[in-house]
Chains A and B, each alone.
Chain A
């Protein structure tokens, strides 16, 4: 239950953050950049999409899926093993993608985006929780 609560909390933080970024993008407004000054350089770079899907939307879908699966695991919606495996795969893929996107900020774009780093940290924390707890149901 503790690991599920932590993963759910992190997913909810991710939903809140990505919704904020999507709103700002749709309204053509500059997001608040709490650390650093170059959030827009990252958010408006050519790497802000994967195929045709904007990264913020992809992130939102990822976090919604994670929170829904965590809810299913808590409530006990079958098949629990399948849900647990899906969330593990999702978080593994998400972690790898976050490493790549952080590398792009560091080496290619040469600018840091607070919200992107926060999202990466959320996903890595989820991965650490799964690594340490193993079973999710």
Chain B
């Protein structure tokens, strides 16, 4: 992957994550509808609190992507976050785009891994 294409993906993801975070903060109840009942029952906190935490996490991930600080860590957390989202909401017409986002977050993670982590896996 060229350096410029990596930055395009990184900034695109940053905008998506921050904007989604802002939209969840605006109306957390509406986003609660995407969570399957079995997942709601597993939550130790209320659905509103869980979504507010998700919104804050999304914004933090987005900011890290945007300023290109620890992008591998942000990408890793974002990938895990998206896997959880896909698991608790199921793959519907709306959430199917999360698969594309997941692929993009994995790209950023792999492309920005620090050398010491890369060399650890090459051993």
Total residues of chain B contacting the partner, CB 8 A: 13
Q: Which residue of A lies closest to B3 (CB)?
A: A32
On chain B, the residues within 8 Å of A15 by CB distance are 66-67
Q: How far is the CB of B108 from chain A (nearest CB, A)?
A: 13
Is residue A53 within 8 Å, beta carbon to beta carbon, of the partner chain?
A: no
Shortest distance from the beta carbon of A33 to any chain B beta carbon, whole Å: 13
Interface residues of B in 56-109 (CB under 8 A from A): 66-68
Which residues of A1-31 have CB atoms within 8 Å of chain B's CB atoms?
A: 5, 8-9, 12-13, 15-16, 19-20, 23
B35 within 8 A of A: no
Given contacts A19-B67, A20-B68, contact A13 B25 (CB under 8 A): no
Alpha-carbon gap, A23 to B68, bound state (A): 10
- Contact between A74 and B26, CB atoms less than 8 A apart: yes
Select B67's contact among A13, A16, A74, A75, beta carbons within 8 Å.
A16
Whether B18 sits at the interface, judged by CB under 8 Å, is yes
* Complex contact B14–A12 (CB within 8 A): yes
User: Taking beta carbons and an 8 Å cutoff, which residues of B are in contact with A?
Assistant: 7, 11, 14-15, 18-19, 22-23, 25-26, 66-68
Query: What are 15 contact pairs spanning A and B, CB under 8 A?
Result: A5-B19, A9-B15, A9-B19, A12-B15, A12-B18, A13-B11, A16-B66, A16-B67, A16-B68, A19-B68, A23-B68, A71-B22, A74-B23, A75-B25, A75-B26
Minimum-distance CB pairs A-B, first 4: A12-B15, A19-B67, A75-B26, A16-B11
Tell me the A residues contacting B by CB distance below 8 Å.
5, 8-9, 12-13, 15-16, 19-20, 23, 67, 71, 74-76
